Structure 1
């Protein structure tokens, strides 16, 4: 990889049963571990259709250009959480951001030199705890600060197991978190909101997925209507976090005192 920011400091969490650390994958072997975890979660657990050259490994054309943030259980030596990160320089080399397959990002054109994309977030089913997610967030926050990046973009997925009604309802509930118009993006394959029941009764209202809840609490915006991803059978919400909006409590928790 080129244009790599300073290496993330290793950070540790010690819940009762696990000893976890977070950092950027150091080489091909660690990257493959992350991609095997992705395949297990996305294909094995969620039923996504993932074309792959190597059985059990999730891979696409963006992976060679990305850095891979991993959480490892130091006791079992297993990679249990991951994010992939595409820097502005790497996005330029690969020809764009993954999100551009799903959204028209024209209004964000002026942000490209400062825009980092995150994606392929997943956590091993035995480690879906606050500790694992907090370490991933801490790793991302340090990556952004140490690399001098100002904006973070990603697609937050919502299951369409019910045909999309829950996703449409969730989108309608998040109106207060919409970005200013100048940051709006537009889905290439829109979720057909007009054909869905986007106002399910309270008893059927879906909870806000933890990942989306975390983004919004940190200060992120939803910057457009959801796109439908047929391969993953999800509704994807475009999320944009200007680091200038990072909630002060998040900054203290994940970055500590950096004076």
Structure 2
């Protein structure tokens, strides 16, 4: 959920392989919102999906060269994909991947965490991830449009909880422990605690955590380590329910976050409903 999301390595496989994999794409939930300049919808054709996979590659691996310029993994066919299309170009300028428990019992978060406590929640759950916005369209209007699409999707799937991995681009165990203490003090949900899988455990994290706790540090400065997207989720009422998971490939830590959609609705109405979107 959250920060411009990470990707796994793209294998050097001909693009026709990916076209074959996605040839039978069908959206599970249909969303269509139109403004003067944009269309917000769920991807419904293989060409729309290919375009957004290229956009994700462009955002996640900007400036790097790969043989196949798309970001695709096993979870993309389990998901619906919210896309914003610029009417001038006909191309997507923003996207978000949504995996609903109505259509799948597998989620990306399970690659890093044991999420049984989230799966046991009373109500439909919806995983958010792979957020990507084209560089020259990263503004309040684009974010508001994405949230309009997400809010519509939440309504149609009657989703009670949103969850996902929130990335913070630090790997220092002292900084990770410092940030964790701040999040635990202010935003933690012990009842939904999800353990980190062995391959993602941060070495010496517990050692530095115990050391910092003995020092009783001022945790206010930890706010500076929180990226803007995670901060937005916390402000909307999200809870943190994990230790940090270390992703060595992408040089970051991930926290598992959960948001009750009742809070989402209130935040959306307060921040976006009255905003003028063209």
In the superposition, the TM-score normalised over structure 1's length comes to: 0.79
Structure 2 residue aligned with 1:184: 193
The number of aligned residues is 240
Matched position secondary structure for 1:44: coil
Structure 2 residue aligned with 1:76: 89
User: Please, which runs of 5 or more residues in structure 1 have no aligned partner?
Assistant: none
Moved more, 62-71 or 227-236: 227-236
Q: Distance in 2 between matches of 1:164 and 1:84?
A: 30
The change in CA–CA distance for 1:147 and 1:235 in structure 2 (over 3 A counts) is same
Report how far residue 203 of structure 1 moved. Answer: 7.8
Q: Distance in 1 between matches of 2:116 and 2:61?
A: 31
- Conservation of the 8 A alpha-carbon contact between 1:72 and 1:80: yes
Match of 2:183 among 174, 193, 207: 174
- State the Cα deviation string for residues 207-250 of structure 1 (Å, max 9, x = none): 53121122112221111111112232221111111113336242
Structure 2 residue aligned with 1:9: 32
Match of 2:44 among 6, 13, 26: 26
Report how far residue 183 of structure 1 moved. Answer: 1.1
- Conservation of the 8 A alpha-carbon contact between 2:151 and 2:265: no
In the superposition, the TM-score normalised over structure 2's length comes to: 0.75
| Larger Rg over CA atoms | 2
User: Please, which runs of 5 or more residues in structure 2 have no aligned partner?
Assistant: 1-24
- Conservation of the 8 A alpha-carbon contact between 2:52 and 2:83: yes
- State the Cα deviation string for residues 174-226 of structure 1 (Å, max 9, x = none): 231112x2211111122343466977998896353121122112221111111
The change in CA–CA distance for 1:166 and 1:32 in structure 2 (over 3 A counts) is farther
Structure-to-structure mapping, 1:40-59, within 5 angstroms: 40-44=58-62, 55-59=68-72
Q: Distance in 1 between matches of 2:137 and 2:175?
A: 26
Structure-to-structure mapping, 1:30-179, within 5 angstroms: 30-44=48-62, 55-92=68-105, 96-111=106-121, 114-160=124-170, 163=172, 166-175=175-184, 176-179=186-189
Matched position secondary structure for 2:68: coil
The change in CA–CA distance for 1:250 and 1:232 in structure 2 (over 3 A counts) is same
Instruction: Give the RMSD, CA atoms, in angstroms.
Output: 3.0
Report how far residue 159 of structure 1 moved. Answer: 1.0
Q: Distance in 2 between matches of 1:31 and 1:124?
A: 15
- Conservation of the 8 A alpha-carbon contact between 1:37 and 1:124: yes
Structure 1 residue aligned with 2:7: none
Q: Distance in 2 between matches of 1:2 and 1:25?
A: 8
